[in-house]
Every structure is written in C-alpha cells, then in structure tokens.
C-alpha cells in the first residue's frame, strides 16, 4: 500500500485522493517542532492570566465566563462531550479517514496549540486503520463542523465508538486499549482545536470531487460513443470553433471528443451524402456544456485544495508573539460555494447524458430501431432504462438547490450566519452515484446502438470501451432482467474501468495522478 507523507500546507489533490482511496498516512516529522512551539505558546499565554477565548473562557455565547485554572482540563473535555450530538448514519470509513488526515494537517501547522502527542495519537489511528464512528448529520458549517469533529475528538479521549479494520465497532476506550493506545487527557485549547474547523465539510466535498472526476471523464467517453451510435458528426468538435470562444474547458473537451472518435469507420461511413445538416444539442454542444461544467469543477477543486491546506481553527496561536487571535476561519463558506458549484456541474453532466439516451432510443431522432431492440413491440428493449435515467437526473436537480444560500442562526444568535457546507457537501455523494448510474445507462444504450452497424467499427479507443462493456453486459436481443446490467454498467463507471480502456486519451482531469 502506498504511503502519503503529509506536508501541511503543501498536500496535493492527488495525495488527498490517495488517502481517500486507502493509502497509508504519516506526518512529516519536521512538523513536530512547530506543533510543540504552539503548545508552549498556549502555556505562556495562560501564565499571563488574561482571559483568552476558548483557553480559559467558556465557548460561543458563554465566552464571557472566566474559567478557573483548576478546571481548564475539564473545560476541554466538557466541550467535546457536550458537542457529541451528531445524528444519522455514520460516515463511510473512507470519508472519515480523510477527515482525520485533514485534521492532522490542519493542527500540524502549529497554529492550533495542540501537543505533539495529540497529533501522534491521530496518526496512530490512521496507521492502525482505527476509524472513529462519526454520525453524518448535525453540522451547519460554522462555527466549524462542531458535532462531527466532536465525535472524532471523542474517540481520542475514549468516548464514543471506533470501527476496526474488520468493520466491527467497539467502544473507543476498548478499541484504543486493544491497539495498545492510551486515551488523551486534553490540555488547554486542545478540545476546541479539535472541534473547530471545516474538516468534515471539506472531506465530504473532496471525496465527492474525486468521484465526480471519474464520472465526468466517463461521461466524455459515453458521449463520444453515443455520437457514434447516432452517426453524429465530429465537425462540431473542430478546434477552430472552440479557439474562437476561448474557454479552456470547452477547448479541452472538444479535443478529448476528437481524440476518442479519431479513425472511426462509423464516422467515415456517413461523412459524404448524409442529408442531416446539424445534430441535436446533446451531441453538438457537448464541448460547450461539458466544458463549462469542467471549468466550474476546476474552480471547486482549487478552492478545496486551498481549504485542505489551510488552518481553520479558532483562536489561532502565533508562537512568535505569544498571541491568540480570534477570527472566523472556521466559517465554511468557501466549501459551501464550491459544493454548490459541484452540484450544479454534476446536474448538467447527468442531464446531457440522459438526453443522449432519450435521443438514441427514439427512432425518429436516431434512425435506429425503436428502443434499440431488434423486435420492437414484442420487446420493450431499452425503453425503461431511459425512464430510470430521467428519474435520477430529476432527483439530482432536486438535490442541487444551493445549500450556501441558507442560514439558521445558532448559539443564541452568537453564530448568526452559517454556511450549511456540511450537507451541501454530503449530498454530493448521492448525486455522484446517481450520475454514474445515468452514464452507465448511456453506455449500455450507445453500445447497443453501435451493434446495429454490424462489422462497421468505431475508433480504437471506443472499440476498447465496447469490449469492456460487452465483457460484462451481453447484447440485448430479447427482453430480460435488466437491473443487474444497469448495476454492472454503473460499476464500470465508478471503478474507472472505462478510463483504463482509453488510457492515453487526452481526457481533462480535475485531479492529477
């Protein structure tokens, strides 16, 4: 298994993607010194006897309440216990591991005031594949992802549950003990440092981004194959058209479609004498629609990479001056807006794919047999998979209402504007799965359409895709149970099997390998 060495502030999206996909994690040892300096600064700040938020005061609306020195450790454990209020299904292990790695990278920059031993325990959990059980609901995206991160912090002090590599859940105390690890007694500032931050929202958004990257590239492949099945034109992908407009995503999308279709005998067969003048938008405007989605997704990727490498704690500790500065880096508005952008782009990817499915099964538009069955009437063919695709696209549209435009004040109006980034990011998992299923249905449809051309072949990369699909899904001659076919096609999309089949094609990616 590969190992990602976290260098806080410098971690690439590709490295975060590797963590999400199961890579091991270790912290660059050069971080230990600045972590220690931050903890030492907290001790010096306390020694001055001045009230400092979250270190010797209450939290939120209770920030004016001064806490006695004898109660400072209890103050930190209390904030963890009182904030463990998440509800709903636990987050997937892969997302929670990513959240834990993000928290390590956040506090390892030395501005959070935690001790090296606290960071080492978090690293030990990742190293041993011990995953805190974190409920999926309860964060409003400011003041940080408080409830989910409290469950993460709870595991460090022996509270709550931890999932073992086998999937079994134990009490946190029992799981730590079985692994030879001791629970923490939190020092001043540590409980607040662990709770404050955007790591839950960011982990969910990043995980979705990695999945969407796969869906987007697969949709370019399925779109090219649908163009072939419809005997569509590659003229709309001519580079001269797209250079005149200038959008990077559009130019790169057109380049990918040209490369995927290059050398196709199907395209050559109707290059001369085809009475059609223009294809429908779902074919002709792929560079414009998919390119715009790509540009929007790239904005989200840049935002999330920045957020993952930043510090979103509060207050922040500056060891060089022994200052604790209160601010609002915990506010997840950048993540919320990025998540909303991703949702919109994902809707468009799925919507365009569904329109190509609908076009191919309609004989009036495609020129192919109705619903792509050799015996329409007796057989319904691919009539109903298009309905499923329509249902999934509609569901994604309903999910895409911007989360960032909502705000409900909390903490007795102290936290009077919140981002709602957490559920804005979390919904993306469901949306990405829906879009993958739609693209899978398009693959089935496009391959079935191309089958009607007999020995006429498409391009080399698209023929490789047809081979991959046909290895899992047989041609549809008579009606049969299609659920397993749809599942297999979705799995081909999500597993990146299609992308392996066209390796070497210039498919624009959001995340570098």
How much is the CA Rg of the chain, to the nearest whole Å? Answer: 26
Give the sign of the dihedral formed by CA 47, CA 53, CA 59, CA 63.
Answer: positive
Phi, psi of 161 (to 5 degrees): -130, 155
> What is the Cα–Cα distance from 287 to 301, expressed in whole angstroms?
20
Q: What is the spatial distance between Cα 134 and Cα 71, in angstroms, rounded to a whole number? A: 28
10 Å CB burial of residue 481 (0-12, 13-18, 19+) is: exposed
For residue 44, which phi and psi values (nearest 5 degrees)? -70, -40
Q: Judge contact between 429 and 208, C-beta under 8 A.
A: yes
53 is a catalytic site residue: yes
Contact assessment for residue 348 and residue 223, using Cβ atoms and an 8 Å cutoff? no
Are the CB atoms for 347 and 428 separated by under 8 Å?
A: no
Burial 333-368 (b: 16+ CB within 10 A, else e): bbbbbbbbbbbbbbbbbbbbbbbbbbbbbeeeebeb
* Residue in 53, 281, 401, 481 annotated catalytic: 53
Q: Which residues pair with 316 in a beta bridge?
A: 325
Closest CA to 191 of 81, 90, 325, 104: 81
Count the residues in the chain. Answer: 513
Longest dimension (CA), the chain: 89
What residue spans of 362-509 are helical by DSSP H? 363-366, 383-399, 421-451, 460-472, 483-494, 497-501
H/E run at residue 323: strand 323-325
Q: Is the peptide bond before 143 cis (omega within 30 degrees of 0)?
A: yes
Which of 381, 350, 353 has the alpha carbon at shortest distance from 227?
353
CA dihedral 244, 249, 255, 256 (to 10 degrees): -160
Segment holding 3, helix H or strand E: strand 3-6
Residues belonging to the active site = 53
């Amino acid at each position: 298994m590969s190992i990602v060495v976290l260098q806080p502030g410098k971690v690439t999206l590709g490295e975060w993607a590797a963590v999400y996909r199961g890579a091991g994690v270790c912290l660059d040892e050069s971080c230990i010194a600045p972590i220690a300096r931050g903890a030492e600064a907290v001790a010096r700040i306390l020694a001055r006897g001045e009230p400092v938020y979250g270190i010797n005061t209450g939290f939120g609306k209770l920030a004016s309440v001064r806490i006695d020195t004898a109660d400072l450790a209890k103050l930190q454990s209390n904030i963890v216990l009182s904030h463990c209020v998440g509800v709903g299904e636990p987050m997937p292990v892969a997302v929670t591991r990513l959240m834990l790695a993000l928290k390590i990278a956040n506090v390892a920059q030395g501005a959070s005031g935690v001790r090296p031993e606290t960071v080492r325990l978090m690293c030990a959990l990742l190293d041993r594949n011990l995953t805190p059980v974190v409920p999926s609901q309860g964060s409003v995206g400011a003041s940080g992802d408080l409830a989910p991160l409290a469950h993460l912090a709870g595991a460090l002090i022996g509270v709550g549950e931890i999932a073992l590599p086998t999937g079994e859940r134990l009490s946190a105390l029992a799981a730590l003990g079985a692994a030879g690890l001791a629970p923490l007694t939190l020092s001043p500032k540590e409980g607040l440092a662990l709770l404050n931050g955007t790591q839950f929202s960011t982990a969910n958004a990043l995980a979705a981004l990695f999945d969407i990257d796969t869906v987007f590239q697969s949709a370019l492949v399925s779109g090219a194959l649908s163009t072939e099945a419809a005997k569509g034109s590659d003229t709309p992908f001519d580079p001269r058209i797209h250079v005149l407009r200038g959008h990077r995503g559009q130019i790169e999308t057109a380049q990918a479609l040209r490369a995927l279709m290059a050398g196709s005998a199907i395209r050559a067969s109707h290059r001369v004498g085809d009475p059609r003048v223009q294809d429908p938008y779902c074919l002709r405007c792929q560079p414009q629609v998919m390119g715009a989605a790509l540009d929007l997704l790239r904005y989200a990727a840049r935002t999330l990479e920045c957020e993952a490498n930043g510090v979103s704690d509060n207050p922040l500790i500056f060891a060089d001056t022994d200052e604790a500065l209160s601010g609002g880096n915990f506010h997840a508005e950048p993540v919320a807006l990025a998540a909303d952008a991703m949702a919109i782009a994902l809707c468009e990817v799925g919507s365009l794919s569904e329109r190509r499915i609908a076009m191919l099964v309609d004989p009036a538009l495609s020129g192919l047999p109705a619903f792509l069955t050799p015996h329409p009437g007796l057989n319904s063919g691919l009539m109903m998979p298009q309905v499923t695709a329509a249902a999934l696209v509609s569901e994604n549209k309903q999910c895409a209402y911007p989360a960032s435009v909502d705000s409900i004040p909390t903490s007795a109006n102290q936290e009077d504007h919140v981002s709602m980034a957490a559920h804005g990011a979390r919904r993306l998992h469901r949306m990405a799965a829906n879009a993958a299923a739609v693209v899978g249905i398009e693959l089935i449809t496009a391959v079935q359409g191309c089958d009607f051309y007999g020995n006429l072949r498409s391009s080399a990369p698209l023929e490789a895709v047809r081979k991959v699909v046909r290895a899992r899904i047989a041609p549809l001659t008579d009606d049969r149970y299609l659920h397993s076919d749809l599942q297999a096609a979705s799995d081909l999309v999500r597993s990146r099997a299609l992308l392996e089949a066209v390796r070497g094609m210039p498919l624009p990616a959001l995340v570098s390998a």
